[in-house]
Amino acid sequence: MAAADTAVMSTPSLYISLISETFAPETNGVANTLGHLVEGLRLRGHQVQLVRPRQATDEGASQDEQLVLTRGWPLPGYPGLQWGQSALHKLINRWRKQRPDVLYIATEGLLGLSALRAARRLQIPVVSGFHTNFHHYAAHYGAGLLTQALIQYLRWFHNRSQLTLVPCNGQKTELLRHSFERIELMARGVDGQLFNPARRCALLRQSWGVDEDSVAVMYVGRMAPEKNLGLLGTAFTQLQTRFAHLRLKLVIVGDGPLRPALQQQLPDAVFCGIQQGEALASHYASADLFLFPSVSETFGNVVLEALASGLGVVAFDRAGAAQHIRHGYNGALAIPGDEQSFIDAACWLLEAPENLRRTRLNARKHAARQGWENITGQFESHLRSAMQAADPVPAGQTQR
């Protein structure tokens, strides 16, 4: 038996309740991360209860101790995504019958808030995850005045957990600056077997109108205001002008409220819609250059997926890109917020064939070492630390 397996078996298994307003088959970074964590925890022998809003695919699904479904409301502008409804009394009743050892609350909406309140009443330790920069999104949706209120709410929420997990040092620094407490790092991983250059498909490239002598430039993600997609079009147009001899093609994977506008602005681009699993992996691997113009990410899982797929990645020097890309070695980084720097970084990759070739090889080598197994081990350690740190409530008192 492997030493790692022995170590896992030597520690007692946990009963963990994970609360989230999004989960697979929904397509986003939070759902992707949580899916890997749940699978990894169960492989390590832990019992994981999932609490989430009911999805369209749940019709006829039976609820048990492993799955607690709640009501949800559609999220405006995002078909298929929901806010969870408060489930305070339902969760209290469930957890009184079978008390979890620890909770992981991944989202801060009404469902997450009701889970936090239930946990405090029942004295269950809580780890929270800071997965989304909602306070950054406010300005993109015409609600900039709400930014400070959102920060105050998020600080109030997370400071009531034993630990808050963030994916990168930049996020930790920002939250500490806003007086968040007990912040710990938990990195993100990537499935290097799924996202792999070996999945490159000539037929798929042909369907895009791209041959092996052309360059497929890709974006994967939501088409939403916070993704800074105006820069995507600007950067691609400048690349086309400067490198006309390379026959560039823009390929966009995903969906979102800005898709109709982008299709008008970029009539020659290929819009592939949402892709998942092996189809998504094949799309990545069949491209050459990956542009990620977002400046609002807590991490940006797509950056690791693109690196694992062997693409030349261009991103701003922040969040997950800052953590995983060495400029000029396994990708190209731009000064955060400097659009011309982003365009220059993309141009550097195409200036000489060797720049792109060497970068792509190094991208794959780096990402191949970022598997989910170690990440799940970190996560388990954080859960156990929260259990040890939880303060008992004095007799006769109730936390609220």
Q: Which residues of 223-257 are buried (b: 16+ CB within 10 A; e: fewer)?
A: bbbbbbbebbbebbeebbeeeeebebbbbbbbbbe
**Residue among 301, 298, 263 at smallest CA distance from 284:** 301
Quick one: average pLDDT of 333-353? 96
* Structural domains of the chain sorted by starting position, each given as residue range(s) with its CATH number in brackets: 3-189+372-389 (3.40.50.2000), 197-367 (3.40.50.2000)
Q: What is the pLDDT of residue 78?
A: 55
**At residue 289, does pLDDT exceed 80?**
yes
**Residue among 285, 289, 283 at smallest CA distance from 271:** 283
DSSP 294-355: -S--SS-HHHHHHHHTT-EEEEESSHHHHHH--BTTTBEEE-TT-HHHHHHHHHHHHHSHHH
**At residue 41, does pLDDT exceed 90?**
yes
Higher pLDDT, 12 or 328: 328
Q: What is the pLDDT of residue 393?
A: 38
Half-sphere exposure of 123 (CA within 13 A, CB side): 10
pLDDT confidence tier of residue 363, bands split at 50, 70 and 90:
very high
What digits encode the pLDDT tens for the residues 83-100? 788 999 999 999 999 999
**Residue among 110, 112, 111, 146 at smallest CA distance from 127:** 112
pLDDT confidence tier of residue 296, bands split at 50, 70 and 90:
confident
Instruction: Give the whole-angstrom CA distance, residue 131 versus residue 142.
Output: 22
The answer to whether the CB of 290 falls within 8 A of the CB of 310 is: no
Token pair for 54 = 């009911």
Instruction: Give the whole-angstrom CA distance, residue 250 versus residue 214.
Output: 11
DSSP 49-62: EEEEE--GGGTTPP
Instruction: Give the whole-angstrom CA distance, residue 88 versus residue 323.
Output: 38
Residue 297: φ, ψ to 5°: -80, 145
* Percentage of the chain exceeding pLDDT 90: 71
**At residue 142, does pLDDT exceed 50?**
no
| Sheet with 270-273, edge to edge strand ranges | 270-273, 248-253, 215-220, 289-292, 312-316, 332-334
Q: How far apart are the first and last CA of the chain?
A: 46
Q: What is the pLDDT of residue 398?
A: 38
**At residue 141, does pLDDT exceed 80?**
no
Instruction: Give the whole-angstrom CA distance, residue 9 versus residue 5.
Output: 6
The answer to whether the CB of 100 falls within 8 A of the CB of 68 is: no
Quick one: average pLDDT of 175-189? 93
Average pLDDT, the chain: 88
